[in-house]
Structure 1
Amino acid sequence: MRRRQFVAAAAASAALAPLAARVVSAAPAPTALTPELIEAAKKEGKVTYYTAMDLSVAEPMAKAFETRYPGIKVAVERTGAERLFNRIGQEVGSNIRRVDVANSSDAAHFIVWKRQGWLEPFLTPDMAENLPADQRDADGAFVNQRTHLSTIAYNTKLVKPEDAPKGFVDLLDPKYSGKLVKGHPGYSGTIMTATQQLAKALGWEYFDKLSKQKVLQVQSATEPPKRIEAGERAIAVDGSDYLFWMAKERGAPVEIVHAVEGTPQISNPMAIFKSSPNPNAARLLVGWIMSPEGQEFIVKVSGQYPANKRVKAKEGRPALASIKTLPEDPLEVEKTADEIKSRYQRYFKV
């Protein structure tokens, strides 16, 4: 079902009518992670976390939370952001109460969920004080859990530095034919966001030309880094940069390229759902992830850029402000998601 059609169908459900009509108008008063909240969360004993983040980061993060708060188990449900969006819509539309907290690499999802009245605004005092305005929704409905980039990368055993591309247009050179791998916007929120940015910067004719380069088309933004590390393809057109960096730090022959045209920047919001079956554990999980402790854990494990201003970027990674990035526009993605998928599908198929 198409993205907008699906949202409309869900809103028509009798069970959702009151929520769809409800409008969030102001950020809530900050809620501290008090002993009483922690105790209530432990009585619930579990929390379900839907995410598009790679399991190599999501599962260790969940274990760190469980260590911090013994007695609460985190069920990590990982899939591509676009599938995550459809799954949550189907569950809420069928009155299935499963998701507690969701994190997506497509920020446009949160625009839809907020409009539908599905999100439960939540802020801790630390979040209210230390998350800059551009890292949280004005009404407290969601916050940016982390930021990463969708970068070009290459295998240094297969491509010499002097032969490596310096930007996206370089990838159209015939010498790279049959050597490229890229993700798909119909599955990945990272690639959905990056596709919108690149189409705006370079035009759809760029993708038409790129498709003639015998590109290996995969689904998730987490796959190109793995294909490059394994040597299955020499160059990644796109992919989650934190996985390229993690591979490089393991000693893999991987080098990251920040494109001369600008690199797509990807925010990754997170929110609690009103239908959460474990609301106290959900608040505790979000509060911990966005705290200095949780943000530092994400930075340490993956090097993704933190939202909490009390936490510094990982040593050895370029400062986000030093990288030329393409502007992110979740509102435009939300409006044009179906068109992006349709136009892209003309050129590439999984």
Structure 2
Amino acid sequence: MMTQLARYLLVASVIAAVLAAMVPLAVAQEPRVVVYSSAGAEIGEELAAAFMKRNQNIKVESIYAGTGVVWTRTRAEAGRPQGDLCMCGGSENFDINYDLLESYKSQQDADIPADFKDAKAPPRYYGMSLPIQVIIVNSKLVQRRDYPRGWKDLADPRWKGKIIWANPRLSASAYAQLFQLIKIGGWDLVKGVLANAIITPSSGLAYQGVADGEFLLGMTGEGNVYDLRAKGYPVDVIYPVEGTGLRFDAIGLIKGGPNPRSGRLFYEFTLSRDAHMLYVKSGSRRSVRPDVPTPPGMPSTSRIPLVPYDAVKAGKDRGINLIIFDELLAKK
């Protein structure tokens, strides 16, 4: 005859077994995708909302941070990945962290030009937008006749303390700016700009600082200037006369991500024309897709002085360039 204790243990074990069986069922009923992003919450939430509208059973969890922070986290988790996708800065960042990415040929591979995706097949990343780097100026505080014309003008002593620049170690766009300054004028130009600039840890603080009138000039992606102007801020965009590099931001699947099916669905969506139209409408971003128009008010790339941007060299030289920059910053 079963004792009361034995009966209790039996019931408890049955309940535990039922609960254990329910856990994976609950997870299966609530699939999710985890996105690591440095693209900004505004466009990130637009993409997530549009995706979840089409895939109502999948929840998008977006984690936002600077590009350097995102990739550091992704590498730290390599043994047990917690994210499914990285939407994190220019292609040079993806080349540096190539081993963390999954090879996958998108159904929309043919819609993405060869210049804007991983050259290897199957690709480990695809381009999303073209973050052309420009000079932002507060048009209320600087008269048009006094505007700088290019990168070299930022080293003019008259701008001392009036320029804000994000830290290239923490910001992918700021590193792209540093790389272009080195190419145009070497480290002497970098020293001159650094002597005039206040360094901030966030690229967002850089362009917002100019918009708010705390600084006269800054460096940023062109889309940020057009967004601020649309919101009523007194800002102008300057395309440097020396030229600015045509580089692209990318997205890729994290190798071994916890939600591979949902991750690929979200990946395919971000590469679609509909998603790229969101980049244009919500973030004033130029799409890498030829079938997506230029954002309203922006000049065509044919009217912008462009120069080649060697993303492979930018990635290869990143370590030594940041060491030298840190040394110069410490002496500032």
Q: Do these two structures clear the TM 0.5 threshold for a shared fold by scoring above it?
A: yes
SS at match of 1:124: coil
Asked if 1 retains the 8 angstrom alpha-carbon contact of 2:224 and 2:284, the reply is: no
Pairs within 5 Å for 1:127-142: 127-137=108-118, 138-139=120-121, 140-142=123-125
Return 335-344 or 52-61, whichever deviates more.
52-61
Pairs within 5 Å for 1:96-175: 96-114=80-98, 116=99, 118-125=100-107, 127-137=108-118, 138-139=120-121, 140-175=123-158
How far does the alpha carbon of each residue in 1:259-317 deviate from its partner, in whole angstroms, 9 at most, with x for none?
01112433111111221111111111111111110110111111211122221111211
Asked if 2 retains the 8 angstrom alpha-carbon contact of 1:48 and 1:76, the reply is: yes
**Structure 2 residue 316 is matched with structure 1 residue 345:** no
2:93 partner letter:
H
Match of residue 309, structure 1, among 278, 290, 296: 290
**Structure 2 residue 231 is matched with structure 1 residue 247:** no
Q: Distance in 2 between matches of 1:152 and 1:172?
A: 13
Q: Distance in 1 between matches of 2:93 and 2:124?
A: 12
**Deviation of residue 44 (structure 1)?**
5.5
Structure-1 residue corresponding to 2:15: none
CA 1:163/1:269 → structure 2, altered by over 3 Å: closer, same or farther? same
The percentage of counterpart residues that share the same residue type is 23
**Deviation of residue 122 (structure 1)?**
2.4
Match of residue 62, structure 2, among 45, 65, 76: 76
Asked if 2 retains the 8 angstrom alpha-carbon contact of 1:103 and 1:271, the reply is: yes
Structure 1: which 5+ residue stretches go unaligned? 1-40
Structure-2 residue corresponding to 1:193: 176
**Structure 2 residue 259 is matched with structure 1 residue 278:** yes
State which structure, 1 or 2, has the greater radius of gyration over its C-alpha atoms: 2
Asked if 2 retains the 8 angstrom alpha-carbon contact of 1:108 and 1:334, the reply is: yes
SS at match of 1:147: coil
Asked if 2 retains the 8 angstrom alpha-carbon contact of 1:244 and 1:256, the reply is: yes
Q: Distance in 2 between matches of 1:171 and 1:299?
A: 29
SS at match of 1:148: coil
CA 1:146/1:44 → structure 2, altered by over 3 Å: closer, same or farther? farther
Structure-2 residue corresponding to 1:60: 46
2:316 partner letter:
K
How far does the alpha carbon of each residue in 1:239-269 deviate from its partner, in whole angstroms, 9 at most, with x for none?
2221111001111101000001112433111
**Structure 2 residue 178 is matched with structure 1 residue 178:** no
**Deviation of residue 98 (structure 1)?**
0.7
**Deviation of residue 346 (structure 1)?**
2.3
Structure 2: which 5+ residue stretches go unaligned? 1-26
Structure-2 residue corresponding to 1:50: 36
Q: Distance in 2 between matches of 1:297 and 1:42?
A: 30
SS at match of 2:316: helix
- The CA RMSD over aligned residues, in Å, is 1.9
**Deviation of residue 43 (structure 1)?**
4.8
**Deviation of residue 51 (structure 1)?**
1.4
Q: Distance in 2 between matches of 1:303 and 1:336?
A: 30
Q: Distance in 2 between matches of 1:223 and 1:57?
A: 17
1:283 partner letter:
R
Q: Distance in 1 between matches of 2:110 and 2:47?
A: 23
Q: Distance in 2 between matches of 1:179 and 1:327?
A: 29
Q: Distance in 2 between matches of 1:164 and 1:84?
A: 35
SS at match of 1:48: strand
Q: Distance in 2 between matches of 1:57 and 1:184?
A: 23
How far does the alpha carbon of each residue in 1:74-106 deviate from its partner, in whole angstroms, 9 at most, with x for none?
1111111122121111111xx232110002213
CA 1:75/1:203 → structure 2, altered by over 3 Å: closer, same or farther? same
Aligned pair count?
Answer: 303
Asked if 1 retains the 8 angstrom alpha-carbon contact of 2:38 and 2:64, the reply is: yes
CA 1:101/1:235 → structure 2, altered by over 3 Å: closer, same or farther? same
Pairs within 5 Å for 1:222-301: 222-236=204-218, 238-301=219-282
Asked if 1 retains the 8 angstrom alpha-carbon contact of 2:87 and 2:250, the reply is: yes
Q: Distance in 2 between matches of 1:265 and 1:342?
A: 25
Q: Distance in 2 between matches of 1:330 and 1:101?
A: 21
Q: Distance in 1 between matches of 2:263 and 2:164?
A: 37
How far does the alpha carbon of each residue in 1:116-169 deviate from its partner, in whole angstroms, 9 at most, with x for none?
2x32222333x2221111122231211012111121011111111111111111
SS at match of 1:76: strand
**Deviation of residue 55 (structure 1)?**
1.6
